[in-house]
Amino acid sequence: MVIVGVDTGGTFTDFVFKEGEHWGIYKLLSTPANPASAVLAGLNHIAQGKRKQIIHGSTVATNAILERKGAKTALITNEGFEDVIEIGRQNRSRLYDLAYRREPHIVPSDLRFGIKGRILHNGDEHEPLNVEEAQRVAELLQKSQAESVAVCFIFSFVNPTHERKIKELLAAREMVVSLSHEILAEFREFERTSTTVLNAYVSPKMQNYIGHLSSEMEDGDTLSIMQSNGGSISAETARKESVRTILSGPAGGAVGALEIGKMAGYTQLITFDMGGTSTDVSLTDGALSLTVESKISGYPIKVPMIDIHTVGAGGGSIASLDVGGSLKVGPESAGADPGPICYGKGDKITVTDANLYLGRVLPKHFLGGSMKLQGEKLENFFQKMAKKTGLSTMELAEGILSVANAAMEKAIRVISVERGYDPREFVLFSFGGAGAMHAPFLARLLNIPNVLIPQHPGILSAIGMLMADVIKDYSVTVMRNQHNATAEELSELFSDLEKKGVEDLLNEGISAENVRLERYLDMRYEGQSHEIIVPFGVQYVEDFHVLHEKTYGHRNRDKKVEIVNLRLRALGMPEKPEFEKAEKMEAKPPEEAFLGECEVVFDQKSTTTQVISRDKLLSGNKIGGPAILVEYSSTIVIPPFAEAAVDAYGNVIMEILE
């Protein structure tokens, strides 16, 4: 049995695998036209006919929404509520843009159907479902060739009878159906409808993708899919609840960072994942930060997700000039095809090209020397753009990196400073293929004292998938307050969710002794419109006051506290990989680790820089800057203003000196 973690990115598809006691890693260029091609090619290269246990982070659902290439989707709801998804909260994302026009919704108005029937807030049926009208709508849907249908009725999370009846009618016509009470059993019709619609929009794509992968598997192979909440689920569950996989790749990185950070003795982390297409950042203060208020392409998603902020700045981000002649970087990316200029086919300067031009990427060590970079192609392109800007080519290259760093610095400030956290109290945990070339410069900008770069940083998201629990999230709206619900009564209300959670995890193959249940409450002050997720303990009301003050800077004990939703997180804890801790620490690196010297540009000056093989370094080794550490999955730049040491687990800990 070979255990394999797979992360599909915009530029590379990453693999980490374990066979017996042997660990290995592998990277190959992604295949954007059909992501499964790269996944299957990598699996065949690794397993060579052996049985496989695969945990996979996929971008299929994400890309379907971003590129608006999901299934042809219809919506069935109560009569008069057909346009809830269009009206939304009436917020304008660009308040002062007088020419702003929203993109057409992914469900056009002619595919939104309202049917008579009404359930009240207490679950009573006020008006029966009009079955004849429902049958007529089902016939219209067949004629429209809709590929998927979202069903969302008012208060169906209290009484789902009407939604289930619609499913019966549509299932008889072999249609893919998403029911809101199964996807999100909570109030707020807009967010619930939006989440259900997105699930319907991406489910056929995920079903085809997972089906294609499964059809190529050998007997005895297993396939699990990473979720946005930091846990994995079976491929079968992912087919039905595809909306839960939208940030599955970045979630794997956050999980891996948390576990490795804990081993290294750091619990306060700002994770920085810079790949080929984008950069993902998240803040971990002892535990993963979860949110139920995410958006993708402007559409709300209310299922629990790791709180990850993404910007369009990666190694493949394209540098260009705006209409005013100013330099900008991204969000457009060269991706895997054509890729950066130095890959051989691209014709637009990217961040990777700028790093290579400055000497911070070493062609003969890129991907262990298995991929040839064509640095000789860069000069002509840099000369042309430099002439337009009035800069020297070196100034242009460093300017490109500075602009990219500014975008990433802003992203880190969003998840730290803007939420009341001081970056100086955290460690910058850097990973992704391009992360370690930029992390020390970001740390200096943000006054972060230390940077942690794990082993194999370019494939950490894939490693994180092997370290993830199996997680199932459940929620239900209860609408109580601190005076009409005791802790005992709330515990009783959790019982149905807990029964469901245990049952589902057993069906996922988790043994009963490895199941853990975590209870949470969505709480707010009376009159507020948004809730805070609070762990359910003995002093849950006091805990809410404390958390509210930490989040918003104030508390109000005179206000009544409301409990809006119950949340249950059911965790199944499978066997996870273990990392060896070195017993011996040695400060001086071995001679064989030094590969020579090269010229690297820092602050407009060409500086003689030592080149070191990271694989040859030992725990305790200290390295002064400037230095370039080369390894298979990434390149680590230690600038003149930093120094580094290798810890007992093989992590590089970089200290910023100025």
* pLDDT recorded at residue 331: 82
30 and 150 share one domain: no
563 and 605 share one domain: no
For 4-38, b where at least 16 C-beta lie within 10 A, e where not — what string? bbbbbbbbbbbbbbbeeeebebbbbbbbbeebbeb
pLDDT digits (tens, 9 = 90+) for 481-502: 998 888 899 999 999 999 999 9
Q: What are phi and psi of 620, to 5 degrees?
A: 100, -20
* pLDDT recorded at residue 103: 86
Residues 313/330, Cβ–Cβ less than 8 Å: yes
Is 314 domain-assigned? no
Is 61 domain-assigned? yes
Would the CA dihedral through 503, 504, 507, 509 be positive or negative?
Answer: negative
171 and 77 share one domain: yes
Q: How many domains does the chain have?
A: 4
pTM for the full predicted model: 0.86
Q: Report d(CA 293, CA 301) in Å as an integer.
A: 7
Query: Given a cut of 80, is residue 11 above it in pLDDT?
Result: no
Which band of pLDDT confidence, cut at 50, 70 and 90, is reported for residue 583?
A: confident
Is 527 domain-assigned? yes
* pLDDT recorded at residue 43: 93
CATH of the domain at 39: 3.30.420.40
Q: Report d(CA 413, CA 320) in Å as an integer.
A: 25
Is 459 domain-assigned? no
Pairing state of beta strands 73-78 and 148-152? parallel
For residue 485, the enclosing domain spans 470-572
Q: Report d(CA 340, CA 12) in Å as an integer.
A: 13
* pLDDT recorded at residue 154: 95
Least confident range from 233-242, 281-290, 345-354, 361-370: namely 361-370
* pLDDT recorded at residue 98: 86
195 and 223 share one domain: no
pLDDT digits (tens, 9 = 90+) for 628-650: 999 988 999 999 999 999 999 99
For 300-314, b where at least 16 C-beta lie within 10 A, e where not — what string? bbbbbbbbbbbbbbb
Q: Report d(CA 215, CA 207) in Å as an integer.
A: 12
Query: Given a cut of 90, is residue 97 above it in pLDDT?
Result: no
Query: Given a cut of 80, is residue 575 above it in pLDDT?
Result: no
503 and 613 share one domain: no
Q: Report d(CA 571, CA 471) in Å as an integer.
A: 5
Which of 520, 542, 572 is at the close of a domain? Answer: 572
pLDDT digits (tens, 9 = 90+) for 51-82: 999 999 987 888 888 778 899 999 999 999 99
* pLDDT recorded at residue 133: 95
Count of CB atoms situated within 10 Å of the CB of 83:
14
Is 551 domain-assigned? yes
**Which structure tokens are listed for 253?**
């990185």
Is 264 domain-assigned? no
Percentage of the chain with pLDDT > 70?
100
Is 171 domain-assigned? yes
52 and 73 share one domain: no
623 and 509 share one domain: no
131 and 197 share one domain: yes
74 and 20 share one domain: no
Angle at the Cα of 522 from the Cα atoms of 83 and 253, rounded to 5 degrees: 90
Is 176 domain-assigned? yes
* pLDDT recorded at residue 552: 87
